[in-house]
Amino acid sequence: MTRPQILDQYFLDARHKLVDLAAFLDRVERAAGKDDFRLQAFRAALGELSGGKKHKAKRVLLAFSDPTTRPVARAETKGACGAWNSSQ
């Protein structure tokens, strides 16, 4: 597909998602309390969207990922929350 064709097909959907992200940040910043590791990772991931760097989806996913290489001693939970907590 050409760039104009991709824009025709996906622009409105991407715009809608971007506005939703902005509204999420407005909502969380209006609320009382402090940032946690999830919001810090979120802001780091947002930084990957601007500029001319390639593989933006990969970079965003890596911004949320555990970069360590050794197994953890024990699985304390079954779930994942979406962002790596480096303090644990």
Partner 1 sequence: MKYIEPHAHMVSRVTDDYEQMALAGCEAVCEPAFWAGFDRSSPAGFFDYFSQLTQHEPKRAAKFGLKHFCWLCINSKEAEDVKLAAEVIALVPGFLDRPNVLGIGEIGLNKNSRNELRVFEMQVELAAKHHQLILVHTPHLEDKFKGTRLILDALQSDRRIRPERVIIDHVEEHTVEMVLDAGMWAGMTLYPETKCTPARAVDMLETYGHERLWLNSACDWGVSDPLAVPKAALEMKRRGHLATAVEKVIFQSPKKFLSQSPHFKAGF
**In the complex with partner 1, which residue's Cβ is closer, 30 or 79?**
79
Residue that is written with structure tokens 């970079």 in the block: 59
Minimum Å gap between C-beta 5 and partner 1 is 8
Report d(CA 43, CA 5) in Å as an integer: 30
Would you tell me which residues interact with partner 1 (CB under 8 A)? 1, 9-10, 55, 57-58, 61-62, 64-69, 71-84
Element (H, E) at 28: helix 3-30
Q: Which residue number, 35 or 66, has a Cβ lying nearer to partner 1?
A: 66
Q: What CA–CA distance (Å, rounded) separates 71 from 8?
A: 45
Based on CB atoms, which residue is closest to partner 1, 32 or 72?
A: 72
